[in-house]
Structures are given as C-alpha cells and as structure tokens.
Amino acid sequence: MNLIDTHTHLYLPEFETDRQEVVEAAIWAGVNKMLMPNIDLSTLTPMLKLAKAFPRHCYPMIGLHPTSVKEDYRQQLNELYIHLKEGSYVGIGEVGIDLYWDKTYRKEQTEAFRQQIEWALSFNLPLVIHSRESLPLIFSVLEEFPQLPGGVFHSFTGTRNQAEYAIEKGFFLGIGGIVTFKNSTLKDTLLPLGPEHLVLETDAPFLAPAPKRGKRNESSYLVFIAQFLAVLFSMDPETLAEITTRNAQNLFLLT
C-alpha cells in the first residue's frame, strides 16, 4: 500500500529516543509521506528539523493549536506569520476551536481561528481544523467567509449531517484510530458516505488504533486504520489506499 498520514506529530518529545526509527518504520510499512501540523511557537523548530531530515517524507504545516491560545495569542500569531511568509508549508494547521478541555479562551480561540482562515486564503493553503466539542461554532465561523480554502476536519467524529456539511464546504474528513474503537459510532456515519471524501491520519503519538490502543501511536499504525476502513467499505485495502492517498495528494499538492 502507498499511504499518506495527513496528521502526525512525530516531532514531539514522545519520540525523542527513536524518532528516526519511527519514521523509517512508517516508510517500510508503506506510509511514504507524513504531514505534520504545528502546535505553537515552541514546536516549530523541532518540526522543521524533522522535515529537513526527511525532506521526501515529512512535510510541515504552520498554525496555532486552539489549546495553545492564551492571552498572548496575538503575539504568537504575529511570529508564526513571519515564519509562514518566509518558509514552505503544505497547510495551515492545526487550527480551530477546542471546547473540551477549557472554555476560558473561547473568544480568543475563535478570533485566532478567523485569522488563520485568512492565512489559508491568502497563501492558497488547505486548513487542518481541530474541532473537539465545537463543530457548531466552527461551522458558524466558516459561514462568515464567502470563500473557503478547503482542507481537513481532523479527527472527525461528528454526525452524518455534520459530515455532509463539511464535505459541501469543500473539506475532507480526517479519519484516525477512533473509527477502530469498539464503542465508536463513527463507522455508522462513514459507511453511507464512502471513502471518496476521506483522508487518513494517525494523530501520533495520540489515539492509537486497535489493536494498538493505549500504546504510543506511530505513523506506521496507519495501516491498521486503512485495513479497518477497507473492511467497512467492502473493498480491498489497495483500493482504499489509492482513493485516500489520491485525496491527500490533490488537497496538499503532493507529488
């Protein structure tokens, strides 16, 4: 299989002791490209270092994660914008609104999200949206824009109607380990939609799929997600891989 992990944080400290081996294991497993959303200013340097070490396999994005939005978010955005202008990135991410952990900075998260949508439009880059417990608010912000850049709803776990809305707005659904969990209803949402609007992701080191649930997630585990979805959609894994890889290539302009 030829797979693309559209969302992995291999630059984080969880991989400090074996980062090169983890990347090489992913490549060996058929995960030939790994897209890395940024978190905040502190993660930019290690992310770019990894991208430089594996320029044909690891691709950086830039953005401010919603849980990193605090009082100083404007300063962080200003500095990130300088890097955006001077560097090369495949997307604006990981951005959005998170109302699961803390609602203290809801207003600031929303404003930061708006600003980063503007970045995506200005630089013609796809958005990678974090929308935990916030899909209605995310949708309302998107409605403010007459044009949207497209992108991915990362770790999508919404309803059928929410999935159809996201697709209608030009977004793909990022599907990771959650779909493999026994208690997940996501498979019921996805089954009638098919794989044509999906991209695959691990969110490593988080949310490892079955049968690795509870362990540190790795990009090589994307194979388990692809195999699960192939069974769900009654197709062979190679076909599922071809469809989702083509989706990622077209969205992120990868060759």
Could you give the CA distance from residue 27 to residue 49 in angstroms, rounded to a whole number? 18
Taking 90 as the threshold, does the pLDDT of residue 5 lie above it?
yes
Share of the chain above pLDDT 70, in %: 100
Could you give the CA distance from residue 97 to residue 236 in angstroms, rounded to a whole number? 36
Rg (CA), the chain: 17
The mean pLDDT of the chain is 98
Per-residue model confidence (pLDDT) at position 255: 82
Mean pLDDT over residues 170-189, rounded?
97
Taking 90 as the threshold, does the pLDDT of residue 50 lie above it?
yes
Which class in CATH covers the domain with range 3-252?
alpha beta
Reduce the DSSP state of residue 218 to 3 states and report it.
Answer: coil
Q: 3-state secondary structure string, 166-210?
A: HHHCCEEEEECHHHHCCCCCHHHHHCCCCHHHEEECCCECCCCCC
Could you give the CA distance from residue 148 to residue 145 in angstroms, rounded to a whole number? 6
Reduce the DSSP state of residue 110 to 3 states and report it.
Answer: helix
Per-residue model confidence (pLDDT) at position 136: 98
* Per-residue model confidence as pLDDT tens digits over 73-127: 999 999 999 999 999 999 999 999 999 988 999 999 999 999 999 999 999 999 9
Quick check: 227 and 237 in contact, CB under 8 A? yes
* Residue 228, φ and ψ in degrees, nearest 5: -65, -45
Per-residue model confidence (pLDDT) at position 68: 97
Taking 90 as the threshold, does the pLDDT of residue 142 lie above it?
yes
Per-residue model confidence (pLDDT) at position 101: 82
In the chain, alpha helices (H): 19-29, 41-53, 73-86, 106-123, 135-142, 160-168, 186-190, 222-232, 237-252
Cα–Cα nearest to 227, from 63, 27, 72, 3? 3
**HSE toward the beta carbon, residue 177, CA cutoff 13 A:** 23
Per-residue model confidence (pLDDT) at position 179: 98
Q: In what order do the strands lie in the sheet with 31-36?
A: 3-5, 31-36, 58-60
Give the residue extent of every domain in the chain: 3-252
Cα–Cα nearest to 251, from 116, 59, 1, 47? 59
* Per-residue model confidence as pLDDT tens digits over 8-45: 999 999 999 999 999 999 999 999 999 999 999 999 99
**HSE toward the beta carbon, residue 21, CA cutoff 13 A:** 5
Share of the chain above pLDDT 90, in %: 99
